Structure 1
Amino acid sequence: MDLVNLGSTGLRVSPLGLGTVKFGRNQGVKYPSGFVLPDEDTLAELLALTRSLGINLLDTAPAYGASEERLGRLLAGQRDDWVIIGKVGEEFEDGISSHVFTPDHFRRSLERSLERLRTDRIDVLLIHSDGSDMAILQDDALMRTMADFKAEGTARAIGVSTKTVEGGIRALELMDVAMATYTADYRAEEPVLDYAAAHRKGVILKKVLSSGHAADVPAAIRFAFSHPGVASAVIGTINPVHLEQIAACVDEATRRR
């Protein structure tokens, strides 16, 4: 799998990123069926397979339960092999998700993530939006805090995991990366991808397989990569066979570009 530029961040990422919700959380998720969290030996094998497939992008967040802590242990000695997407703004505790958008919380959250992941930087740090994209992006103190993280080097690139067209475009105007949703059944955020393609900004897609509900996986992946503004797509799985199948679909879709 050939690496691609993530906008103008200077980061080279695989077109497929592995989402790690299922590494640390099985409560309050939207997948079609329940699952048991894998043990860490199983996850180590999955990560080894991930790298062998040419995938270097991992997506995690404080809201993904024990994902960060487990990755910190699992990636010992191989941190430089990976590009890690992290987040601030959303918490998950005692089965309940909540959002906190303050500069102090962002800094505490990032420091905690660095400690859990046993690293000195997050490669792509995103604000985990609750849907109030524009209110977040109009908060100058939050924007300064994110810029500070980048200036300090604790975040190499910054952005927002958005839920609206206006938010996605504004995030790309102010920062480096937007994480957006774009499927054959949901094209509302396509202008975000258009903006990214026109301005050399980074877009990473989420929910490409509609949280596991996509009926035709190859078609869903082909559609995701049909837009030139898409750099990468994050898809979460803990099934090695499923991962190999997805990787093959992504490889085929990107080679057709």
Structure 2
Amino acid sequence: MNTFSQRPLGQTGLTVSALGLGTVKLGRNQGVKYPSAFELPSDAEAQTLLGTALECGINFFDTAPAYGISEARLGQLLGKSAHDWVIGSKTGEEFINGESHFDFSAEHTRLSVKRSLKRLNRDWLDLVLVHSDGNDVDIIENSGAFEALAALKQAGTIRAFGMSSKTVAGGILAARESDCVMVTYNPGHTGEKAVIDECLRLNKGVLLKKALASGHLNSDDADPVQHCLDFAFAHPGVSSAIIGTINPQHLRDNIAKAKRSLT
């Protein structure tokens, strides 16, 4: 396996590769915001992708119930090796019949985590993030989701929890009330930098979503992917940037560019 930069995920005790593999494209191709349509990869193609990630030194996968069959496919494809990876999943959003539905109640949170454990073939989950609908602060303060996740952490069912946030206020509150925050951050979307700053101050984990702008890159840059990764890793608070490719060569190229950004 190639060496690739790994970083502590805040104070969780988890260590994650500087690039994580987002797996929405393993399980869902409806209602996604990528620039072109795509077919879900076959099991053989998905296995090749996961093997490439392992070979290149990636140890972190990001998934969610809202990613269609992604969790179940990961559990099936990884099999007995599932515990060899750091896997982050989510709770709160369900994608049913082409539409998102949200439930942040404590009861649903517990049921969602139990289901993710079964799908992912795991005895515990490394990280669970609340998959926000945009009402971050209200979810944290009033839904019961954070309290349920804290209890699951205390019981050893999950190792860490946090929020995939959508607002600055919610992200900062999540940084103060949990272990990790996932934020949107790229050269065209810098508004959530304050969240990363707060996580750095508190030594909390930071995961980047849309680090490559979901494929909508600025063609004015000579190398837009390199520009985005340089930008992402210039902030010392970033733990890992999530890259959502299903093309093994794209993954290799992204890792090579990330290594240049990190040197």
Task: Check whether TM > 0.5.
Answer: yes
1:98 counterpart residue number: 101
SS of the equivalent of 1:101 reads coil
SS of the equivalent of 2:149 reads helix
Tell me how far 1:24 sits from its aligned partner.
0.5
Tell me how far 1:25 sits from its aligned partner.
0.4
- Residue 28 in 1 paired to residue 52 in 2? no
Tell me how far 1:61 sits from its aligned partner.
0.3
SS of the equivalent of 2:80 reads coil
Aligned residues: 255
Listed as ranges, the matches of 1:133-152 within 5 Å are 133-139=136-142, 141-152=144-155
SS of the equivalent of 1:119 reads coil
TM-score by length of 1: 0.97
1:38 counterpart residue number: 41
8, 17, 21: which one pairs with 1:18? 21
Listed as ranges, the matches of 1:1-257 within 5 Å are 1-139=4-142, 141-215=144-218, 216-255=224-263
Structure-2 separation of matches of 1:188 and 1:131: 15
Structure-2 separation of matches of 1:205 and 1:164: 14
Tell me how far 1:155 sits from its aligned partner.
1.0
Structure-1 separation of matches of 2:249 and 2:229: 16
Q: More deviation in 7-16 or 135-144?
A: 135-144
* Amino acid corresponding to residue 50 of structure 1 in structure 2: A
Structure-1 separation of matches of 2:185 and 2:142: 26
Structure-2 separation of matches of 1:211 and 1:204: 15
Structure-1 separation of matches of 2:238 and 2:54: 21
Tell me how far 1:196 sits from its aligned partner.
1.3
Contact 2:35 2:215 in 1 (8 A): yes
TM-score by length of 2: 0.95
Residue-by-residue CA offset, 1:110-151 (whole Å, 9 max, x unaligned): 111111111111111000000000001112732221101101
SS of the equivalent of 1:98 reads strand
Contact 2:104 2:144 in 1 (8 A): no
- Could you list the structure 1 runs, at least 4 aligned residues long, displaced by more than 2 angstroms after superposition: 140-143
Q: Which runs of 5 or more residues in structure 2 are unaligned? A: 219-223
* Amino acid corresponding to residue 162 of structure 1 in structure 2: S
2:221 counterpart residue number: none
Structure-1 separation of matches of 2:106 and 2:9: 26
Tell me how far 1:80 sits from its aligned partner.
2.7
Structure-2 separation of matches of 1:244 and 1:17: 12
Structure-2 separation of matches of 1:77 and 1:143: 30
Contact 2:89 2:129 in 1 (8 A): yes
Structure-2 separation of matches of 1:24 and 1:241: 20
Residue-by-residue CA offset, 1:169-198 (whole Å, 9 max, x unaligned): 110101000000111111111111111111
Structure-1 separation of matches of 2:146 and 2:71: 24
